[in-house]
Amino acid sequence: MRILTQKRFLLALVVIAAYMVCGLSFGSDVEVVDTMTVAEETAHDDDSGHGGPVLGILISLVVILLAAKLGGDIFERFQQPAVLGELVLGMLIGNLHLIGIDLFESFKHDLTLEVLAELGVIILLFEVGLESSVREMMKVGLASFMVAVFGVITPFFLGWGVGYVFLPDASIYVHIFIGATLTATSVGITARVLQDIGKIKSREAKIILGAAVIDDILGLVILAVVAGIITAVGSGHGDGVSSGMILWIIIKAVLFVVGAIVIGSIILPTYFNLAIRLKVKGVFLSFCLLVCFALAFIAGKVGLAPIVGAFAAGLILDEIHYTRFREKGERDIKHLIEPISVFLVPIFFVRMGMMVDLTTFGRVEILGFAAVLTLAAIVSKQACSLAIFDRKTNRIAIGLGMIPRGEVGLIFAGIGAKLILDGQPIVSASIYSAIVIMVIITTLVTPPALKASLLRGAKNAPAPS
Amino acid sequence: MRILTQKRFLLALVVIAAYMVCGLSFGSDVEVVDTMTVAEETAHDDDSGHGGPVLGILISLVVILLAAKLGGDIFERFQQPAVLGELVLGMLIGNLHLIGIDLFESFKHDLTLEVLAELGVIILLFEVGLESSVREMMKVGLASFMVAVFGVITPFFLGWGVGYVFLPDASIYVHIFIGATLTATSVGITARVLQDIGKIKSREAKIILGAAVIDDILGLVILAVVAGIITAVGSGHGDGVSSGMILWIIIKAVLFVVGAIVIGSIILPTYFNLAIRLKVKGVFLSFCLLVCFALAFIAGKVGLAPIVGAFAAGLILDEIHYTRFREKGERDIKHLIEPISVFLVPIFFVRMGMMVDLTTFGRVEILGFAAVLTLAAIVSKQACSLAIFDRKTNRIAIGLGMIPRGEVGLIFAGIGAKLILDGQPIVSASIYSAIVIMVIITTLVTPPALKASLLRGAKNAPAPS
């Protein structure tokens, strides 16, 4: 029986492979069918169907979805979160060029794939936000705030110290900047792990997610201050950063959060009561997506991460707003969003893995500093657990959940690479590489550590209320 | 009560508008927060989150989804299919620049939006394919084949004749080419109308969809022949089109169709039996999407429209392949695909409307020829109804359903514009504009005509078996 299945499996693989190869070779068979090449070029110009830019995305999606599911499965079998499998298989695919296979290199520079990935993480945070409400977040508000503050201050000073000790020849601005790159948590990975292991509604999840929002606002302020100071020093006059400017950044961010809550309590009921009058199919899902995309857009415009907006959108959408849709037999938004999430979310994580350049780890001269920096990044976020006084909460898990650094750290590093002081960039190529390694490792260690901590916690501790 | 609702509505609108304007003005407030501009630029370079290319897509999606639902609703109230409303609101948005509002101009040239739109129509045809099966299509196979053949030959010769009569000074190749541009039906609009009015499982729907597949293959052959002949004449030697080349095109297309059916009956059961062993969530939907995207990709590679591949994928996926998934409590694929379709499909139709350039209709000198060409395009496809001998089938509806011309006609026209004969392009700028007008009008007249015919047919004729 088992052998039979394997035989059929092999047969299936051979036929599929032959079919795909035929498809590929047909396409490249330019000599034989040269009018078709004309057609394809024209199709591209006229942006119409036959063989246009969509073909590149279709094959990327096939590779990515397959890698995501296979990677997820392999890692689940080893009791690891599926997201780690998506990252690792992405890393493998993204580095196949090192052994001469550069079939997938184009995926990395595909702007459309990048946008699909970003939409994926926006949908993920929207989905995660739907699992909670503003009221529930308010309950953990103080805890979240403390976690965010501890989780920003400690990495900042520890990073500064690491710079001071290990790069004694560099200026104080370099040290400060290294501290700044360690501050902001990238919550996508943590959210996904919490979802994978079914802990997204736990108290720990709420504290981490709330802290991530505040963390993002604090990160904005630090970026403005640090980059402002260095620009001012570099240009020789001291007005690079004004208190007015920083105040404005804070006001915008706070206005966004307050605005989102106002929309949730005052506008949304009317919004859905108007929407229900529309006589077309898909109105409910469309109007929920509208809230998500609009808030993600505005968050991006005020300088926050779009995922903060998507999370806020999920929070403010409450069953009470759309009871009339539910009475009409509409499925719950959580069920409606799930297929979109299954489609788009893996693109983000597989692509994140693909962007990892393994050759960075081959640069022996920077590995030492990278290791110290990574250690500082991981250890310093454990200060977050000190902000939790409630004994029922798994504080270790909160410290672990705050570990991942991502795009914000890389944005800081990128800005630092462009800031020139005394003829040299603040963030040199070596420091940049060390920061990249730090981002990769913090991303990869979080899923197994967080899963282990939360599942052990669930056994030993009393059940969360 | 009613007044109260309207007051609240106005309040809601004002608050939302103020909020959006704040978001927009925050973003453009470069002077105040110039470090954020640095951050956004870097974000773009490093392809990370904060304010990257995803923001442009987010606001496009907000505008498009809103336009789609409002447009759909307005037209539904006038007993018109929702898709016509999406097209018309898209046209309005896309031509606002004529009255000085060019806020939405960037949408037209956004490659990512184009790809999302293409994914939308691919998902639509996949969804439509799921409503039927290979066996059911076989039953209408002969009818579909006859409809396709009639629906290609008649427009070809009528278009040729129109060229001969109205452009007497042009060469015979111009006349032939005009005939060729009228041949291929663009089935997206028709599929959507059939879905909107709940007739997607009717016999008429199956005949039209089957005919569209064959029509696409015939279109490929005609394109190869006509372009080949003209290239040969232009370059002065007669080997531009060989029978071997045409044979190769036909073989590829037929191989694709046969290959898809083989995959359906032999590979898919094993494929899903393997997939069910994967221990991650979303496996079922992912593996269905894999089939859709892979077949759409291969179809594009053999020169067919990717939507033909997506339709084939929907046809070959049968409940019998995934009974084990259903036994595990998985929802049916038709339900799982629906939210993705609600999200992506309107992007295609609203964008299609946006790409319509209304100034084309202001060119009085070409309107006469455009009118004749459009009439020829509409009338000639009515020959399709002659291919139907079965009295229970609504033949008028089939003729109407085959009317829309789309990307293939434009691809032909684009190729013609690049083919030079005696120093002049085969398709002049005026002829090109006339073809564009023909595409627009055939697209816009089909939804109301098809809906009226099918709904009247349902009243008068006996119910379809």
DSSP letter for each residue of B146-198:
HHHHHHHHHHHHHHHHHHHHH-TTS-HHHHHHHHHHTT---HHHHHHHHHHTT
User: For residues B243 and A274, which has the higher predicted lDDT (pLDDT)?
Assistant: A274
pLDDT one-digit tens code per residue, A2-27: 444 555 555 555 555 555 555 544 44
Of B59, B231, B297, the CB nearest to A55: B297
Where b means 16+ CB within 10 Å and e means fewer, A112-137 reads: bbbbbbbbbbbbbbbbbbbbbbbeeb
Put simply, whether A396 touches B (Cβ < 8 Å) is no
Instruction: Give the three-state DSSP class for A424.
Output: strand
Given this model, what pLDDT does residue B333 score?
92
Residues whose CB falls within 8 Å of the CB of residue B223, separated by 6 or more in sequence, listed in order: A35, A39, B180, B411, B412, B415
How would residue B258 be classed by pLDDT, with cut points 50, 70 and 90? confident
Interface of B with A in 342-361 (CB under 8 A): 342-343, 346, 355
- In angstroms, the CA A138 to CA B424 distance is 71
B420 φ, ψ (degrees, to nearest 5)? -105, 130
pLDDT one-digit tens code per residue, B208-231: 999 988 888 888 788 778 777 777
Given this model, what pLDDT does residue A163 score?
92
Nearest CA to B288 out of B305, B265, B307, B272 is that of B272
* Residue A465 CA from chain centroid, whole number: 29
Mean pLDDT on A450-459: 80
Put simply, whether B114 touches A (Cβ < 8 Å) is yes
Within-domain flag for B24: no
Within-domain flag for B247: yes
Put simply, whether B310 touches A (Cβ < 8 Å) is no
Given this model, what pLDDT does residue A370 score?
92
CA angle A254, A259, A261 (to 5 degrees): 100
Within-domain flag for A149: yes
Range in B15-19, B76-80, B158-162 with the lowest mean pLDDT? B15-19
The verdict on a CB contact (< 8 Å) between A42 and B414 is yes
Has residue B28 got a pLDDT over 50?
A: no
Within-domain flag for A350: no
- In angstroms, the CA A352 to CA B355 distance is 34
Q: What is the DSSP letter of A447?
A: H
Nearest CA to A72 out of B275, B246, B22 is that of B275
Range in A23-37, A378-392, B147-161, B344-358 with the lowest mean pLDDT? A23-37
The DSSP string of B344-408 is: HHHHHHHHHHHT--GGGGG-HHHHHHHHHHHHHHHHHHGGGGGG---TTS-HHHHHHHT----HH
Which residue reads 């002065």 in tokens?
A: B236
The DSSP string of B318-333 is: -GGGGHHHHHTTPPPH
Has residue A118 got a pLDDT over 70?
A: yes
Of A267, A285, A411, the CB nearest to B16: A267
Range in A222-231, B79-88, B165-174, B437-446 with the lowest mean pLDDT? A222-231
Q: What is the DSSP letter of B238?
A: S
Within-domain flag for A23: no
**β-strands A420-421, A424-425: how paired?**
antiparallel
Nearest CA to B381 out of B153, B174, B203, B77 is that of B153
Interface of A with B in 155-214 (CB under 8 A): none
Put simply, whether A340 touches B (Cβ < 8 Å) is yes
**β-strands B424-425, B420-421: how paired?**
antiparallel
Of B11, B58, B298, the CB nearest to A19: B298
Q: Which helix (H) or strand (E) holds A421?
A: strand A420-421
- In angstroms, the CA A154 to CA A376 distance is 10
Within-domain flag for B41: no
Q: How many CA atoms lie within 13 A of A6 on its CB side?
A: 3
The verdict on a CB contact (< 8 Å) between B306 and A58 is yes
Has residue A464 got a pLDDT over 60?
A: no
Range in A124-138, A375-389, B197-211 with the lowest mean pLDDT? A124-138
pLDDT one-digit tens code per residue, A149-160: 999 999 999 999
Nearest CA to B373 out of B158, B121, B90, B109 is that of B158
Of B282, B305, B410, the CB nearest to A46: B410
- In angstroms, the CA B5 to CA B10 distance is 9
- In angstroms, the CA A252 to CA B269 distance is 55
Mean pLDDT on A323-351: 91
How would residue B179 be classed by pLDDT, with cut points 50, 70 and 90? very high
pLDDT one-digit tens code per residue, A419-446: 887 888 888 888 888 888 898 899 889 9
B85 neighbourhood in chain A, CB within 8 Å = 280
Helices (H), B167-305: 172-181, 187-196, 203-235, 243-262, 268-275, 283-301
The DSSP string of B410-455 is: HHHHHHHHH-EETTEESS-HHHHHHHHHHHHHHHHHHHHHHHHHHH
Tell me the residue range of the domain where B359 lies: 122-460
Closest-CA residue of A relative to B224 is A35
The answer to whether the Cα torsion of A263, A266, A272, A278 is positive or negative is negative
Given this model, what pLDDT does residue A266 score?
87
Which residues, listed in sequence order, are joined to residue A425 by a DSSP beta bridge? A420
Mean pLDDT on A161-174: 90
Given this model, what pLDDT does residue A250 score?
81
Mean pLDDT on A45-64: 74
Has residue A42 got a pLDDT over 80?
A: no
Q: Which of B15, B41, B301, B333 best probes binding to A when mutated, by most A CB atoms within 10 angstroms?
A: B301
- In angstroms, the CA A157 to CA A165 distance is 12
Given this model, what pLDDT does residue A46 score?
36
On average, the pLDDT of chain A sits at 82
Of A249, A280, A411, the CB nearest to B43: A411
**What's the complex ipTM?**
0.82
Where b means 16+ CB within 10 Å and e means fewer, B365-400 reads: ebeebbebbbebbbebbbbbbebbeeeebbbbbbbb
* Residue A148 CA from chain centroid, whole number: 18
On average, the pLDDT of chain B sits at 82
User: For residues A115 and A261, which has the higher predicted lDDT (pLDDT)?
Assistant: A115
The verdict on a CB contact (< 8 Å) between A118 and B270 is no
- In angstroms, the CA A373 to CA A366 distance is 11
- In angstroms, the CA B452 to CA A115 distance is 40
Residues A154/A381, Cβ–Cβ less than 8 Å: yes
CATH number assigned to the domain comprising residue B227 = 1.20.1530.20
- In angstroms, the CA A38 to CA A33 distance is 9
Mean pLDDT on B413-417: 80
Residues whose CB falls within 8 Å of the CB of residue A29, separated by 6 or more in sequence, listed in order: none
Nearest CA to A163 out of A152, A148, A154, A173 is that of A173
Put simply, whether B30 touches A (Cβ < 8 Å) is no
Put simply, whether B458 touches A (Cβ < 8 Å) is no
pLDDT one-digit tens code per residue, B368-400: 999 999 999 999 999 898 888 888 888 889 999
- In angstroms, the CA A165 to CA B445 distance is 74
- In angstroms, the CA B403 to CA B266 distance is 36
How would residue A93 be classed by pLDDT, with cut points 50, 70 and 90? very high
Within-domain flag for B288: yes
How would residue B38 be classed by pLDDT, with cut points 50, 70 and 90? very low
Query: How many residues belong to chain A?
Result: 465
Put simply, whether A246 touches B (Cβ < 8 Å) is no
Q: Can you give A282-323 as a three-state secondary structure string?
A: CHHHHHHHHHHHHHHHHHHHCCCCHHHHHHHHHHHCCHHHHH
Q: Which helix (H) or strand (E) holds A203?
A: helix A203-235
Q: How far apart are the first and last CA of chain B?
A: 48
Has residue B144 got a pLDDT over 50?
A: yes
CA of A389 vs chain B CAs: smallest distance (Å)? 33
Which residues, listed in sequence order, are joined to residue B421 by a DSSP beta bridge? B424
Given this model, what pLDDT does residue A339 score?
96
Mean pLDDT on B147-163: 93
Mean pLDDT on B39-58: 57
- In angstroms, the CA A123 to CA A288 distance is 11
Has residue B112 got a pLDDT over 60?
A: yes
Which residues, listed in sequence order, are joined to residue A424 by a DSSP beta bridge? A421
- In angstroms, the CA A11 to CA B316 distance is 19
Given this model, what pLDDT does residue B26 score?
43
Query: How many residues belong to chain B?
Result: 465
The verdict on a CB contact (< 8 Å) between B267 and A293 is no
Which residue reads 């995803």 in tokens?
A: B54
Burial class (CB in 10 A: 0-12, 13-18, 19+), A460: exposed
CA angle B155, B160, B162 (to 5 degrees): 90
The verdict on a CB contact (< 8 Å) between B267 and A12 is yes
- In angstroms, the CA B341 to CA B2 distance is 34
What is the domain count for chain B?
1
Given this model, what pLDDT does residue B18 score?
57
Residues A298/A256, Cβ–Cβ less than 8 Å: yes
CA of A391 vs chain B CAs: smallest distance (Å)? 33
From residue B272, alpha-carbon distances to A339, B288, B319, B365 in Å are 18, 9, 11, 59
pLDDT one-digit tens code per residue, A189-229: 898 899 888 889 898 999 999 998 888 888 878 877 877 77
Given this model, what pLDDT does residue B15 score?
57
- In angstroms, the CA B317 to CA A317 distance is 36
Within-domain flag for B455: yes
Has residue B4 got a pLDDT over 80?
A: no
Has residue B435 got a pLDDT over 60?
A: yes
Closest-CA residue of B relative to A55 is B297
